[in-house]
Chains A and B, each alone.
Chain A
Amino acid sequence: MRRVKRRSRLAPAREARGAADREVRRRLAMGQTITQKIVARAAGLERVEPGQYVNVSPDYTCCQDISWPARKRIMEEAGVERLARPDRLVMVVDHTTSAGMGTVYHRNHGEMRRFAEATGANYYGPGSGLRHQVLVEEGFARPGLLVFTDEPNIASIGVVGAMNLAISTEVVVTSVLNENWMMVPRPVRITLTGALSPGASIRDLAQILIRDYAQTDILSQACVQYDGPGVATLSLDERQSLLACTYHAGADTALMPVDASALSYARARAGGRDFELFADDPDAAFDHEAVYDLSAIEPMVTVPPELFGAVGVGAVSGRRIDQAAIASCASARMDDLREAASILRGRRVAPHVTMYVTPASREIYAEAGREGLLSIFAEAGATVLAPGCTTCWGYEGYLNDGEVSVSTHQMNYNGRNGSRTASVYLAGPALVAASAVAGCITDPRDLLAIEGRAA
């Protein structure tokens, strides 16, 4: 067992009294969800209850480059010279993929590299890929593990049954002391049935969930556990897309069941490191349950500037665009690139459109090269960028006043990708690629239908 020092000198939280006490007794008679079991393991407790505050020792802490100067300052002020568990800190340069002239980023890269060398932390330099992807590809994220990161979208690691807990400044606490507090998320179950139809993307379901939940507090402080027969119809890439977007519907984090395909991936990446498979007890209780039928999902577009502004593509098709981008922790994995390439193969991006494609990691970049996808993008007139966040936060592909983009990015608020008067529409990869070709927002099924007739 890797966990030699089982932490906490601190006693677990005392239980509440009165009504809360009755609630606790009701819960104690019930089984535990995967959500609770993961937190209980990290807290060194037999069981935990939703809403309870506990001290935990996370299996990993992951941080990025752009906020490194602020993190470093806090650590210096606290007199940090060494880390309790440097092997558990994963530092990734993903926001600023180039050490460009005239920027401050080369300094951050150098300081992170030197900090990692001095402390023994894990360091992944520019071009390695998104933290989301590095964590699963390098086998840090494994079933049953708890990972503290500086971003809620890293819930994508829930694809292998690991739980992401997002904090910001506090990554320094778990980095240094290997311990921090958290609230046990409220377990929520969203059951998926059916299978996606041709032309529909898992991003379309993500947009629908955000539309349905983002303006409510139903998913507040929740861990969404996706389940049901629909999950098995989704590839691991598609599952990560959905998990990476769930935060925008209001949840703290999200997970999927570790089925045979997820386990086989996780085991190969674990390289012998330990993990623990958890299942919901049969009588485990969820705070909220919902069912979504994948076969009913149609191509959607999220209209700026609100993330809950999803509409069917028909409502906005024909809107002229200036830029199209495949990027972000939601949609830049192999299946996303394949989906975009299936549209772009043998076609050209419209002359007035600039198109960028950013593979989520160096491993995906190489795989896309082996599959011939990179040449399809190049021959279609798209630009392939180095793995990282790139266009999603306007680091590259900066939009001018009044310009319109359609992308697979995570955010669409005014100013997210450049000018505050630019408009950022969000959609799945096939819809983005179809729009790039047509020069305006386009239903990918229109192009798929042409292919169908040709065949």
Chain B
Amino acid sequence: MTAIRGRVWAFGDNVGADDGIIQFSQVPDLGSYDVPALKAMLFVLLDPDFPQKVREGDIVVAGRNFGHHSHPHAGVAMRESGIKACICESTDSAFIRKILNVGLPVVPCPGITALAETGDALELDLAGGTVRSLTSGRSLSFRPYCEGMLQVWSLGGLAPALRERVAAARQPGGELAAEAQA
């Protein structure tokens, strides 16, 4: 249920979000997500042909300090290009949050760059906290996602998750039910 399986694209250390995953300064319209423009700039600073090579279900593996200086546009660019998860040596909290909020999980997992390289097949379990290389058979552990995060991920991001939770809380007896504060 919480397992993600895919083909790896591996990158090195210090890949920023705004000047690595995408080029934020080149985003034409900040008021909305310009999906074709975002997809066309995905990782091209590191691999000019990346937008043509990436496939539905792929997984990004990255080194230390992945995704620093981020806007959610980087997450939308990856999600819309078919990427299902990012797993990296280290990242910052804001990046995990912003990218999960558009429906894409980011997992810090020290040792991952030694476990997986471009072209490998990888399987990660967000709830179980394990990642396994289907190519080498080796595996690593990471901090499992808690239930609140799994919910945001499985419902496709912050806005749909909030809708679902508010609807549940408005039911009689819920925290937002009319009678609770009447």
A residues neighboring B (CB under 8 Å): 10-21, 51-55, 74, 77-84, 152, 166-170, 172-173, 176-181, 183, 185, 216-217, 220-221, 250, 252
Contact of B139 among A18, A78, A83, A221 (CB under 8 A): A18
B127-182: which residues lie under 8 A (CB-CB) from chain A?
127-130, 139-149, 152, 158-159, 162-163, 165-167, 169-170, 175-176, 178, 181
* Complex CA distance for A52 and B147, rounded to whole angstroms: 12
Sample of 23 A–B contacts (CB below 8 Å): A10-B148, A11-B147, A13-B143, A13-B147, A20-B141, A20-B143, A53-B143, A53-B144, A55-B147, A77-B163, A78-B159, A79-B170, A81-B170, A81-B176, A82-B178, A83-B176, A170-B101, A173-B162, A176-B162, A177-B165, A177-B169, A216-B65, A252-B93
Known: A19-B141, A170-B97, A181-B149. A220 touches B90 (CB 8 A): yes
Q: Which residues of A contact B166 (CB under 8 A)?
A: 78-80, 176-177
Does B65 lie within 8 Å of A18, measured CB to CB?
no
B19 CB within 8 Å of chain A:
no
Q: Which residues of B contact A173 (CB under 8 A)?
A: 158, 162
* Complex CA distance for A170 and B165, rounded to whole angstroms: 13
Does A16 lie within 8 Å of B162, measured CB to CB?
no
Known: A54-B146, A177-B169, A181-B148. A18 touches B141 (CB 8 A): yes
Known: A79-B170, A176-B162. A13 touches B175 (CB 8 A): no
B94 CB within 8 Å of chain A:
yes
* Complex CA distance for A53 and B130, rounded to whole angstroms: 15
Known: A167-B97, A169-B101. A17 touches B128 (CB 8 A): yes
B113 CB within 8 Å of chain A:
no
Does A53 lie within 8 Å of B141, measured CB to CB?
no
B92 CB within 8 Å of chain A:
yes
Contact of B92 among A10, A55, A169, A220 (CB under 8 A): A220
Shortest Cβ distance from B137 into chain A, in angstroms? 14
A contacts with B: majority SS: loop
Q: Which residues of A contact B92 (CB under 8 A)?
A: 217, 220-221, 250, 252
Known: A170-B97, A176-B166, A220-B92. A18 touches B144 (CB 8 A): no
Shortest Cβ distance from B168 into chain A, in angstroms? 10
B residues neighboring A (CB under 8 Å): 64-65, 90-94, 96-98, 101, 108, 127-130, 139-149, 152, 158-159, 162-163, 165-167, 169-170, 175-176, 178, 181
Does A18 lie within 8 Å of B130, measured CB to CB?
yes
Does B91 lie within 8 Å of A13, measured CB to CB?
no
Q: Which residues of B contact A172 (CB under 8 A)?
A: 162
Does B130 lie within 8 Å of A12, measured CB to CB?
no
Shortest Cβ distance from B15 into chain A, in angstroms? 12
Q: Which residues of A contact B149 (CB under 8 A)?
A: 53, 181
Shortest Cβ distance from B179 into chain A, in angstroms? 11
* Complex CA distance for A179 and B174, rounded to whole angstroms: 14
Q: Which residues of B contact A176 (CB under 8 A)?
A: 162, 166, 176
Does A77 lie within 8 Å of B159, measured CB to CB?
yes
* Complex CA distance for A84 and B168, rounded to whole angstroms: 13
The 4 closest A-B pairs by CB, nearest first: A181-B148, A20-B141, A53-B146, A13-B146
Does A166 lie within 8 Å of B94, measured CB to CB?
yes
* Complex CA distance for A78 and B165, rounded to whole angstroms: 9
Q: Which residues of A contact B159 (CB under 8 A)?
A: 74, 77-78
With CB as the reference atom, state the residue of chain B lying closest to A74. B159
Does A217 lie within 8 Å of B129, measured CB to CB?
no
Q: Which residues of B contact A167 (CB under 8 A)?
A: 97
* Complex CA distance for A52 and B108, rounded to whole angstroms: 11
Q: Which residues of A contact B148 (CB under 8 A)?
A: 10, 53, 55, 179-181
Does B144 lie within 8 Å of A13, measured CB to CB?
yes
Q: Which residues of B contact A179 (CB under 8 A)?
A: 148
Shortest Cβ distance from A297 into chain B, in angstroms? 27
